[in-house]
Chains A and B, each alone.
Chain A
Amino acid sequence: MSSLLGLAPAPRSEAAEQVRAEVREFLAAELAGGTFTTHVDTWLSGVDPAFSRKLGERGWLGMTWPCRYGGHERSAMERYAVTEELLAAGAPVAAHWIADRQSGPNLLRYGTEEQRQSILPRIAAGECYFVIGMSEPDSGSDLASIRTRAVRNGSGDWVVNGAKVWTSNAHVSHYAITLVRTSPADPSNRHAGLSQLLVDLSLPGITVNPIRILDGGHHFNEVVFDDVVVPGDMLLGTEGDGWHQVTAELAFERSGPERFLSTYPLVAEFARRLGASPDPAGLATLGRLSARLLALRQLSLRIAAALDRGELPDIPAALVKDVGTTFEGDVIEEIRRVVEVTPSLSSPDPLARALAEAQLHAPGYTLRGGTNEILRGIVARGLGLR
């Protein structure tokens, strides 16, 4: 076991508890002021640029980045506390979520000085949003099979052709960190010849087509690149090193509390329904769900502490995401076993609404960011089986 998740227990962080209290106070005031209403899975569906800018003003975006890039040089433990408070409150965090979680760290790690200076401060201000340009219509779990191509033209710029899908909120975002093939596929080394480009989504030749999810919401898109000319200095990192860079990015993508808190607002509504004198079955269900959630928090905190130590815990992150997203879906079934409620997006009953939102988003939990089958394969590698 120690080889797999030999992460030490997270030290208790006074600074994290301090900022947690500040976020809680802020959210209570925002809720009371009616600037947002609680929803399930808001890190996908809750786009609210004004709210994102408020978080930026408070210093709660780009928290761990150097101050010279608009960051705040705070710990991953503090960032963890901020993100889990926002998720538990069901706050509208989708606009900035990807940029703050993985694109910014990716730029910090691999970006040029100019790329960092021009973009990171805007992300930290809550003004600049990113999408993940990985999956394609014919390439889902098999990411190395992508076909979007980028070719250098005579002036050293990149000409990009292809398409990316499941690009959450591309229609309101500014950049896509796009994984492209920059040299022909090599059957003997499938991971070679890939690169990441920093693509401005306002460039000519880019078309963003909406793809609606089960509840009718428009979050997903197809982004089509038709002879898009991307300036040569927008290569991110090293040409041909895209696979390695994507792997590092995925460690950030998979490690956070959004991998077990997407349906927490449903749990909170369930607790309200139990009321002042809860029935034994309801209490037992809440107790079982709470024990699972408490264990997931401990795992996620250990990962945050590992990030603070400068580690990149990709295998533990895969494990936590597998266990956490399974929990997100199980919340639905556990609750409907003990409460008579008909899920409905239009119901005046907040529990019925939360249940409907959670149910219609449920297939996504165990797909996005790597399917649980892919994640278990990574865990199996960590166990030494492959």
Chain B
Amino acid sequence: MSSDQDLVVETVRDILSAFPPFVLTGDRRWDDGLWAALAEAGLTGVGLPESSGGSGGELADAVAIVRTLAAGAAAVPVAEHLLVAGPAVVARDLDLPAPDEPMTVAVAPGVTAHASDDGDGPGRFTLSGTAEITWAGIARHAALLTSGPAGPVLALVTLAGLSVEPAVNLAGEPRGSVVLDGVAAAGALLTPAQASELRARFALARAVQLAAALEQVLAWTVQYAGERQQFGRPLGKFQAIQMELAEMAGEVTAVTALTDAAVQAVERGSADLVLACAAAKVRAGAAVEVVARLAHQVHGAIGFTQEHKLHHLTRRLWAWRDEAGSELTWAPVLAAGLLDDGPDGLWPALTRVV
């Protein structure tokens, strides 16, 4: 991590220290105070070019922000906003909404986009259909991957004023169903490859969040095992517990290494970007079962309650692994891509992707 990113992380941590995680409820569905503080500091524009109204900086800076907030179980749509929707909108030359207005992203195969004009580039579209949107009811804007008669369309829709059928994920984060009935939106035609990349970057955003949360869960569990005394000594002195913590460390370390590599693949515009993101999401998703299970086992009954902080991250782990495509979605994509040059091309592909 560069010293720039160290500084960013320190700033985010400072802000976050005033906004501890809480149980999300219908009355308090997200942390609007935290979002306002992040926006005030310019952090909701990081990684987006200043010429588009962003704060500038690299993708790595935005990733560092998302990691820090994910480890803190922050209830803000920053992963969607900074890592997926923002870069997609900028890449397609659509007008970036003001960075202090939360923007989310959704893959919306049930929404069709019909061009309202004959423009080739950025144009106007009319959207019809139903979309499942993370942070619906919270986010002001959504970048939707829709389908049009000429191929996939990235549509930037303003959610304010649209009715939401509210729902929540396992962590209580808002996920809702939005009916679009002839809604006008700015949009751009995508090539199939660009549409794949958008899906992959969404998966990578979740992998980045998973990696950070997995690391934090390990750190909490190691700390707890060092403090909790049973039979006259700390839990961490028992070999059975040490084996479990070492197994967790192996999983966490593997996820971090692959996720970092996938972020680098995106940064350098790798031709294998989709496969790198797919691999990161599959590996991160697979680690959740082991790490969350063992973390709860070591924490004992207190970790199974809302009295203890552990659930803020384990419930997010269980939710995030199935969002933006689970292992079931991405493992076949990864395998098919690795076999692009036939079975004898598998090894060359494995050594090329990341």
Chain A interface (Cβ < 8 Å from any Cβ of B):
1, 4-5, 9, 20, 24, 84, 88, 264, 267-268, 271-272, 274-275, 278, 280, 283-288, 290-299, 302, 316, 319, 322-323, 326, 373, 375-377, 379-380, 382-386
Contacts and interface: CB of A to CB of B under 8 A. Distances in A.
A383 B331 contact: no
B331 A377 contact: no
A287 B347 CA distance: 13
A286 B337 CA distance: 11
Contact of B335 (A88, A284, A319, A380): A284
Interface in B99-126: none
Interface stretch (B14-22, B36-44, B160-168, B251-259): B251-259
**Most A CB atoms within 10 A — which of B226, B251, B280, B338?**
B338
A1 B334 contact: no
A299 B253 contact: yes
Contacts of A377: 239, 242, 246
B180 to A, nearest CB: 31
Contact of B249 (A9, A275, A319): A319
Given A1-B218, A287-B331, A322-B250, A383 B245 contact: yes
Nearest to A271: B343
B335 A290 contact: yes
Nearest to B332: A283
B225 A274 contact: no
Interface residues of B, number: 54
Given A20-B351, A288-B327, 4 more contacts: A291-B282, A376-B243, A376-B247, A386-B237
Contacts, number: 161
A288 B282 CA distance: 7
B300 to A, nearest CB: 17
Nearest to A327: B254
B201 interface: no
Contacts of B279: 290-291, 294-295
B330 A287 contact: yes
Given A288-B282, A294-B258, A294-B350, A5 B335 contact: no
A283 B343 CA distance: 12
A4 B253 contact: yes
Interface string B223-255: 001100000000011010111011101111111
B255 A295 contact: yes
Given A1-B218, A295-B258, A385 B237 contact: yes
B250 A288 contact: no
A192 to B, nearest CB: 25
Given A288-B286, A379-B249, A298 B336 contact: no
17 contacts: A5-B256, A9-B257, A283-B332, A286-B331, A287-B282, A293-B350, A295-B254, A295-B258, A297-B351, A298-B254, A298-B258, A319-B253, A326-B250, A376-B243, A379-B249, A380-B246, A386-B236
Contacts of B353: 294
Interface in B283-342: 283, 286, 327-328, 330-336, 338-339
Nearest to A381: B242
**Most A CB atoms within 10 A — which of B239, B255, B353?**
B239
